[in-house]
Amino acid sequence: MNTEPLNAERQGTEKPGLTTDTVKQGQDQEQGQEQGQEQDPDAAVGEDPVTKPDTSEPPLQSGTSDALWVAVGDIMMHMPQLPAYYDKSAKRYDFNPYFTEVKPLLEQGDWSLANLETPISGKELGYSGFPRFNAPSELAEALKYAGFNIVTNANNHSLDRGAEGIARTLRHLEEQGFSTKGTARSKAEAEALTIIERQGIGMGLLAYTYGTNGIPLPKDKPYSVAIIDEKAIIRDINRLREAGADFITVVLHFGIEYQTVPNDTQKQLARKLIAAGADIIAGAHPHVVQPYETVDVTEADGSLRRGLIIYSMGNFISNQRGETKDCGVIFKVHIHKDHASGITAIGDIEAIPTWVHRVKKNKANHYQIIPMEQAIKHGTTDGLSAADYKEMKRNLSVLSKRLQSMSAKPVMLNAEAPVE
């Protein structure tokens, strides 16, 4: 565990108020082995569509609020992850067991985010793993069970089942009550602002990917997947600020697979976005955990704003093994708002490394996400062998050092002028 005080998918060895949820959102809205009612795209968009919170309580004018931001990395579904979780009698899947050990941690989050790196378009479009994924829609139910309430899905696999896959995926997520960001069924939905309110604090949410594995964006729906464009992202950050977001999370699917340190392109973009007004960059795609860093931004009035860049949170669940590809991290970030001044700030940061335990029973792989430090400390997790604990201790040591390797001193930046 790391606590900071305040101030290819190659497998195997291959979106809430005070006490009620309120979502302000527009209304028209990986080579490896296999083992181991759509909205009108031409709907007009005038001013930024943001619905107001539906709450009978007046907004807070004084006092403070505190809330917890929680996020994990890639949710992947390789084909070996399916068989053990099919209930033949019910004729459906149940992936809840993946998340039993981490559910108590994820449920702590006021905002609890996951990056879904597969369509969940259902059996009608055919289940498959790498290179073009599609998983059972029951995965959405398991993510809800786990404690997530926000799912982003702008990544290189967004178009693995085309625009229809996006529409089906979003529908299944919405049926479970998730807030979503990163893909869209209409131009209006793509351009809508997403501000998710918890405990009187509004988080603006954005999500983008570097690309879609060479699959072109549909000609009639070029807005289907949000692609990384620095100037466009900065404009979106400014729109969210103007709409009243207290802090902004930008989820970026970027970097180089299996590289344990961020490259210059990642660092330049992430720092630029923090300077432009983003508060948290939540990175994914490399399939291994990369370090995080904090940033102190000097604003135009001389005040300091603290930002957080998480370059990659690794694989939260997948069939990948070895060289920490079977590891991820749960980030917990405390958010504090002073209502009198209107200032919202990042507080304590905690990184909780996780490991995907995989064991074969009855000729099928079974998976469980384990918070390593907790499991090692208590030594009571069912199904773990002495060899498993040895592996976890090694992985925990490696990840703890890696995570902290860029966080000793904050990066100092000056705020960027707003983009017109």
Question: What per-residue confidence (pLDDT) applies to 189?
Answer: 98
Cβ(351)–Cβ(292) under 8 Å? yes
Residue 70's CB: how many other CB atoms inside 10 A? 24
382: confidence class by pLDDT, cuts 50, 70, 90:
confident
Question: What per-residue confidence (pLDDT) applies to 419?
Answer: 58
Centroid of chain to Cα 278: 15
298: buried, middle or exposed (CB in 10 Å: 19+, 13-18, 0-12)?
A: middle
Calculate the alpha carbon distances from 193 to 38, 52, 272 in Å.
19, 12, 21
Q: What does the alpha-carbon distance between residue 15 and residue 8 come to, in Å, rounded to a whole number?
A: 27
Which among 248, 326, 267 has a CA at the least distance from the CA of 74? 326
Phi, psi of 398, rounded to the nearest 5 degrees: -65, -45
Name residue 66's beta-bridge partners: 336
Question: What per-residue confidence (pLDDT) applies to 50?
Answer: 55
**What is the maximal distance between C-alpha atoms in the chain?**
65
Helix (H) or strand (E) holding 241: helix 230-242
Question: What per-residue confidence (pLDDT) applies to 380?
Answer: 80
Name residue 294's beta-bridge partners: 308
> When comparing pLDDT for 19 and 229, which is higher?
229
What mean pLDDT, rounded, does the chain reach?
89
Cβ(390)–Cβ(276) under 8 Å? no
Contacts of residue 394, defined as CB under 8 A and 6 or more positions apart, other chains included, come to none
Average pLDDT of the residues in 87-109: 98
pTM (predicted TM-score): 0.88
Contacts of residue 58, defined as CB under 8 A and 6 or more positions apart, other chains included, come to none
Q: What does the alpha-carbon distance between residue 130 and residue 30 come to, in Å, rounded to a whole number?
A: 6
Question: What per-residue confidence (pLDDT) applies to 416?
Answer: 87
Q: Is the pLDDT of residue 326 over 50?
A: yes
Q: What does the alpha-carbon distance between residue 311 and residue 301 come to, in Å, rounded to a whole number?
A: 29
247: confidence class by pLDDT, cuts 50, 70, 90:
very high
Question: What per-residue confidence (pLDDT) applies to 62?
Answer: 76
Question: What per-residue confidence (pLDDT) applies to 364?
Answer: 97
The radius of gyration computed from the CA coordinates of the chain, to the nearest angstrom, equals 20
Q: Is the pLDDT of residue 379 over 80?
A: yes
156: confidence class by pLDDT, cuts 50, 70, 90:
very high
Give the tens place of pLDDT for each residue, 183-225. Answer: 999 999 999 999 999 999 999 999 999 999 999 999 999 999 9
206: buried, middle or exposed (CB in 10 Å: 19+, 13-18, 0-12)?
A: buried
- Percentage of the chain beyond pLDDT 90 is 83
Average pLDDT of the residues in 243-266: 98
Alpha carbon dihedral 100, 375, 365, 122, in 10-degree steps, equals: 30
Q: Is the pLDDT of residue 43 over 80?
A: no
Q: What does the alpha-carbon distance between residue 247 and residue 7 come to, in Å, rounded to a whole number?
A: 16
Structural tokens at position 329: 């991290």
Q: What does the alpha-carbon distance between residue 291 and residue 96 come to, in Å, rounded to a whole number?
A: 29
Alpha carbon dihedral 299, 241, 310, 177, in 10-degree steps, equals: 160
Give the tens place of pLDDT for each residue, 55-93. Answer: 334 555 679 999 999 999 999 999 999 999 999 999 999
- Least reliable range by pLDDT among 59-73, 144-158, 166-180, 263-277: 59-73
Q: What does the alpha-carbon distance between residue 205 and residue 347 come to, in Å, rounded to a whole number?
A: 19
Which among 296, 293, 254, 253 has a CA at the least distance from the CA of 275? 296
Question: What per-residue confidence (pLDDT) applies to 112?
Answer: 98
The SS3 call for residue 253 is strand
**Sole residue written with tokens 């990642």:** 266
| Rama region for 23: left / alpha / beta (φ>0; ψ in -120 to 50; rest) | beta
Average pLDDT of the residues in 389-401: 97
Phi, psi of 400, rounded to the nearest 5 degrees: -60, -45
Q: Is the pLDDT of residue 116 over 80?
A: yes
Calculate the alpha carbon distances from 281 to 40, 247, 248, 257 in Å.
31, 11, 9, 18
Structural tokens at position 8: 């290819």
In sequence order, what E strands does 222-363 have?
Answer: 247-253, 280-284, 292-298, 304-310, 315-317, 327-338, 343-361
Residue 96's CB: how many other CB atoms inside 10 A? 16
Average pLDDT of the residues in 288-315: 97
Domain made up of 2-414: CATH architecture? 4-Layer Sandwich (3.60)
